[in-house]
Structure 1
């Protein structure tokens, strides 16, 4: 029987992954930090941050829960700069890859420059990726698209962008990125069930607070 991962977008770059009763929250943001987003509150068995900036590393928003349930994911962490100057402007960022034996799911945090060969080797073959698409603090949309063309994941989930109702004013809109994609699927929910054999798509989830 295939393993199903329930993925929930909590806004900005924050996601919750759940499988077999085990939950992980990635990149929780600080209250009031991201314009237009409600204060974040959730629970998880593990909290992971790509870096310590307030819009990605506010672990206080998440209530940690002890569990005897085994973590179903093998975790790979890949360091990369948060900027295009080797990290001298904004520090370093961590890409996290979650592997449950059937799916490899990557959260790219605030990746700031193209991947090198070693990083691509560590990423391996990816099924699902969560990538920042708003630029300014991260790689610009055309750079993200070039990376995706090379990595060729099945499912692309945009994050870290601006709409009329939320997001940093200096970053780009979702449409600035979607113009590169021909397989866009828009959901009226903030959750997506990830399974082996999913159809190829750029999945746009809805922010529900």
Structure 2
């Protein structure tokens, strides 16, 4: 497992405002950074205590991945009702860049509908436990300008000792405050369309800085995987996975950071 410079934060999350939603609660994150001055320290006991079971990650299409936790919680990312609609997820996250990333009429049977934007304006803040997974978000802007401010969210799922992130429909480069709020991501889902979101150069720079063990491309359209992989550099392996589902656990990371391309991407 690569050495990480990021440690767990109690204080930063305790100060975070919470949006009104069912089962919202504050709790410490095991992924969030609070110090750059402790380059090799993390609260490993928290990670190891939670590191039970495997997490299933399935590519459904476009920017939708289906995450299933060891306790059986199902989560669909950037959910529009088109991809991953052959069953009812318990949790869905959405971003409003295009109708392929959200729906205004989700199935009422979905227990938690988490929008990446605040319909009333300003940033939205999610912080909730659903059985064995802690879900939070970091807002970014969308399409630039005031109309798109805080219109996208990077969602982070903390489960089984893992920190799993989905960048959504990211439209701009991240600054230090974003990286500090995101913290460590063991697995990150990255749009690589090269135009509708960020350029391949900018997206690969973000992916490198997040120092994830596993990078899962999405939102690809016609971009060659090689175009993204070459910009990530020689320190990253590329693996074309048979099937749409990947099982991950704290003890199953590849020896080198790896771009894993699931079937259908």
| Length-normalised TM-score, structure 1 | 0.80
Per-residue deviation, residues 102-127 of structure 1 (Å, max 9, x unmatched): 10000000111111211111111110
- Of 70, 75, 78, which residue of structure 2 is paired with 1:24? 75
Residues 42-92 of structure 1: CA deviation (Å, up to 9, x unaligned): 32111111336311103757673569x943211121110123x34646972
1:173-192 mapped onto 2 (5 Å cutoff)? 173-181=224-232, 182-192=236-246
User: Structure 2: how far apart are the matches of 1:190 and 1:109?
Assistant: 19
Structure 2 CA distance for partners of 1:88 and 1:100, relative to 1, 3 Å: same
Q: Specify which of 142, 152, 171 is matched with residue 93 of structure 1.
A: 152
The answer (yes or no) to whether the contact 1:24–1:46 under 8 Å persists in 2 is: yes
> Is 1:151 aligned to residue 151 of structure 2?
no
RMSD: 2.8
> Unmatched 5+ residue regions in structure 2?
1-50, 113-128
**Deviation sequence 1:118-141 (CA, Å, 0-9, x none):** 111111111000010112121111
- Compared CA separation, residues 2 and 41, structure 1 to 2 (3 A): same
Q: 2:96 maps to which residue?
A: 51
Secondary structure of residue in 1 paired with 2:136? strand
Of 165, 189, 196, the residue aligned with 1:130 is 189
The match for 2:198 is 139
Equivalent residues, number: 192
Q: Which residue of structure 2 aligns with residue 201 of structure 1?
A: 258
Give the match for residue 167 of structure 1: none
Match in the other structure for 2:59: 9
SS, match of residue 121 in structure 1: helix
**Please, what TM-score do these two structures have when normalized by structure 2?**
0.64
Structure 2 equivalent of residue 78 of structure 1 = 138
Partner of 1:119: 178
The structure-2 alpha-carbon separation of the partners of 1:56 and 1:65, relative to structure 1 and needing over 3 Å to count, comes to closer
Structure (1/2) with the larger strand percentage: 1
Residues 101 and 21 from structure 1, CA distance in 2 versus in 1: closer, same or farther, beyond 3 angstroms?
A: closer
- Please, which of 104, 117, 120 is the counterpart of residue 163 of structure 2? 104
What does residue 35 of structure 1 align with? none
The 8 Å contact of residues 134 and 174 in structure 1, kept in 2 or not, is answered as no
**Residues 159-181 of structure 1: per-residue CA shift (max 9 Å, x gap):** 00114xxxxxxxx3433312224
Residue 4 of structure 1: how far off its partner (Å): 1.2
Q: Which moved more, 1:88-97 or 1:120-129?
A: 88-97
